[in-house]
Amino acid sequence: MNPQVSNLLLVLGIVQVARRLDLDNPEVLIYVRIGYLVSQTIILSACYFAAIKIKGKNDLTALKYVEPAKPFTNEQPKLVETSNRDYDLSKVQELLKQTLIGVVIMLVLHFYWNFTQPLFIQSIIPLKNLYYNKIVQIHLLGKPAEGDLKRPFKEASPFGQLSDSQQPQTDKAAIKKAAKASKSGEKDD
């Protein structure tokens, strides 16, 4: 099932459960806050342990791919040359950044605007997303880096095939074309 669809169904279920909870009761609110803190601590711990495992494996296998241009810009696709270790560490850093931004947003929603239902929802959904995270799948759950877990990772899109142009390309022709474009761009400077 598409992760976005499963998230939607999960949110609808969680909202129904949250409606049955008395989130105005200070005792219930304490438990919701503790649940949120535990959830975020689990995610941050997973990032830490994944980074330790990645550094421990020290997989310096070369990884070349063409990163697609950002939509609605005049940028050209660029060639990225890295190692599996550095690529995986960058993905851990993305997960960490995403988590911290989510925490800041939740703090504003909860303490400034007094919303508690999103706090309850965000105690559960990020754990599901963590479980399906490709870095967690490879380094913490021990799945082999093949198929959907092959680097560079393809990003899931709710629009399906429309996003194929925004996926990293690993074929030799695309890499050669991007290398040639970057060399000609360097000469123009």
Rounded CA-CA distance 70/7 in Å is 26
User: What pLDDT score was predicted for residue 157?
Assistant: 64
**Prior bond of 144 cis (ω within 30°):** no
User: What pLDDT score was predicted for residue 67?
Assistant: 87
With a cut of 90, say whether residue 120 has pLDDT above it. yes
What pTM was estimated for this model as a whole? 0.86
With a cut of 80, say whether residue 42 has pLDDT above it. yes
User: What pLDDT score was predicted for residue 165?
Assistant: 63
User: What pLDDT score was predicted for residue 170?
Assistant: 76
pLDDT band at 169 (very low <50, low <70, confident <90, very high): confident
Please tell me which of 7-16, 68-77, 84-93, 146-155 the model is most confident about, judged by mean pLDDT.
Answer: 84-93
pLDDT in tens, 18-31: 899 999 999 999 99
pLDDT in tens, 128-153: 999 999 999 999 999 999 999 999 99
User: What pLDDT score was predicted for residue 159?
Assistant: 55
Q: Which residues contact 10 (CB under 8 A, 6 or more apart)?
A: 124, 125, 128
User: What pLDDT score was predicted for residue 172?
Assistant: 74
For the ranges 83-92, 105-114, 165-174, the lowest mean pLDDT is seen at 165-174
User: What pLDDT score was predicted for residue 111?
Assistant: 92
